[in-house]
Amino acid sequence: MSDDEPQDGDGVQEPEPEPEQSADLDAIEADLETFATDIEALENDLEEAETEDDLDVVEADLDEFRTELESVEIPDPPETDEEDEDDEDDEPAREEELQDTYDDIESDLSDLESDLEDQRGPYGEDVVSEIDGVSGTITGTRWTFEGDEELIEATDAFLADVNGLLGTSLELPSGLEPASGAELGEKGDEEGNVPEKLDEALDEATAAVENADLDADDDAETIAGLLEATDDFESEVDDATEWTDLEVREQLRREGFYDVLDHIKDFPPEWHALKVHEKRGNVEQILLAYDSLDSDFMEKHCLEALERMGPEEAIDTMVQKAGRRDEHAISILGKIGVASDEVVDALVDYVDSNPALQKPSFRALGELGAEDAVEPLAQQLAADDADVRSWAARALGMIGDTRTIDPLADVLADDEEDRVRASAAWALNQIGTADALEIVAEYDDDRAYLVQAEAENADLEPVA
């Protein structure tokens, strides 16, 4: 081995950088120093910019600056041995220092670009956007009677501000009267509906702003005045009285829930009103009480009323409640008797559940005559729980699908529990075809009295 060859061990020295590489790094360092100086000048230009045209010039300079900066390519630092990585005395490679400088310049450039955007405008489009936002709040919120009055007053004042700034003649719709709650339902299209009519008036305001063709430089004072007026308008709308600001009983009063009461017979008065509404068939008022009153007592009585009435208007509410594993809601869906996909799907979810939910679900599906539930119900004829098998058989009988005759006949012949066999016999009688009735009639001397009774009830003249 010659003396010129590198030796292994601690005495090995890192090779000096090649002259060409060193020259490249020197050139990059010089470029970055120039960039650092230039960005300070750009910062001064932005501070001195007064018009949109000035800002356009600065923006073009920033775009050019970024293009030139991104053209700089800093080589990766040389790899180091793992033993050297933990050496605190090692200085960072020159490439790392240059990359840090580059990152600082790029960060300053991003800040300048953001500052430039902040310095632009405001524009007429900003006023339009703010008005649209307030209008959306007005139409997207439920207001009280007082809230309607406050909105009318606030909008009237805002339109006056716009007229003063733009020389327009905007005004509120004629005959605008506040109404909410039960009063709204009593008014025709020409009265009430304050939010919708105010929205129309605000559409005219935004059109006026757009037609003014405001210039960010020449009309800066007008734009600032419009934005200030819009901010004040937004604050007044935010302070207007929303429906949710009312206490629950006040909401019910305004909805007319207590109007049916000449006197208070039962306590609480909500219970008395609920009874009257049930008697009169006022489903909406019962659903209102159910949704509004945070009372287990009133919820129970609302559900009982709905179960007795079986109104289709309650389907959506009961499907939602059934989805929360509520047995009472499941039963009510059966009483309503509408076998929509939404209802059947909600009930079928509990066919293979726990017995507490299976029992009302099976019965409800039977009451609905839900043929889509036949297969999952038939599978429950083999359940371990005898009660579940019995409920499933009765549900299938209520549905009356002839496809279930054979599986029900098997249950009647083979099930170990007589009460399950009796349910299967009852189901076959409910199906009522000749085949079903003949099967049941053969058990007239069965060991179980309940099965014998079903056999005796089998009418061999099948149902048409």
Domain end point (choices 225, 245, 265): 245
What is the pLDDT, as a whole number, of residue 187? Answer: 44
Cβ–Cβ under 8 Å, residues 38 and 203:
no
Average pLDDT over residues 108-125: 87
Cβ–Cβ under 8 Å, residues 387 and 412:
no
CATH number where 402 lies? 1.25.10.10
Residue 165 domain-assigned (yes or no) = yes
What is the pLDDT, as a whole number, of residue 185? Answer: 44
Let me know whether 376 and 451 are in one domain. yes
Cβ–Cβ under 8 Å, residues 214 and 124:
yes
Let me know whether 241 and 251 are in one domain. no
Please determine, for residue 189, whether its predicted confidence score (pLDDT) is greater than 60.
no
Residue 391 domain-assigned (yes or no) = yes
Residue 72 domain-assigned (yes or no) = no
- Could you tell me which residues come within 8 angstroms of residue 113 by beta carbon, excluding any fewer than 6 positions away? 62
Let me know whether 140 and 239 are in one domain. yes
Q: 224 is written with which tokens?
A: 């600032």
What is the pLDDT, as a whole number, of residue 80? Answer: 64
Among 2-6, 19-23, 136-140, top mean pLDDT goes to 136-140
Instruction: Output 76 or 314, whichever has higher pLDDT.
Output: 314
- pLDDT tens column, 390-399: 999 999 999 9
Let me know whether 388 and 439 are in one domain. yes
Domain end point (choices 245, 262, 287): 245
Residue 110 domain-assigned (yes or no) = no
Average pLDDT over residues 168-185: 73
- pLDDT tens column, 202-257: 999 999 999 999 998 889 899 999 999 999 999 999 999 888 888 888 888 888 99
Let me know whether 262 and 240 are in one domain. no
Using CA atoms, how far apart are residues 290 and 35, in angstroms rounded to an integer?
Answer: 70
Angle made by CA atoms 196, 198, 203, in degrees to the nearest 5: 95
Let me know whether 295 and 406 are in one domain. no
Let me know whether 391 and 464 are in one domain. yes
Let me know whether 266 and 255 are in one domain. yes
Let me know whether 182 and 271 are in one domain. no
Domain end point (choices 261, 278, 303): 303
What is the pLDDT, as a whole number, of residue 25? Answer: 84
Using CA atoms, how far apart are residues 65 and 39, in angstroms rounded to an integer?
Answer: 8
Percent of the chain with pLDDT over 70: 87
What is the pLDDT, as a whole number, of residue 144? Answer: 87
Percent of the chain with pLDDT over 90: 60
- pLDDT tens column, 22-39: 768 888 888 889 989 998
Let me know whether 186 and 278 are in one domain. no
* Domain range enclosing 401: 369-464
- pLDDT tens column, 327-381: 999 999 999 999 999 999 999 999 998 999 999 999 999 999 999 999 999 999 9
Residue 217 domain-assigned (yes or no) = yes
Cβ–Cβ under 8 Å, residues 133 and 199:
no
Let me know whether 264 and 289 are in one domain. yes
- pLDDT tens column, 57-107: 888 999 999 999 999 888 887 776 655 555 544 456 888 888 999 999 999
What is the pLDDT, as a whole number, of residue 49? Answer: 81
Please determine, for residue 440, whether its predicted confidence score (pLDDT) is greater than 90.
yes
Domain count, the chain: 3
The region that residue 193 occupies, defined by phi over 0 for left and psi between -120 and 50 for alpha, beta otherwise, is left
What is the pLDDT, as a whole number, of residue 9? Answer: 47
- Could you tell me which residues come within 8 angstroms of residue 329 by beta carbon, excluding any fewer than 6 positions away? 303, 318, 319, 321, 322
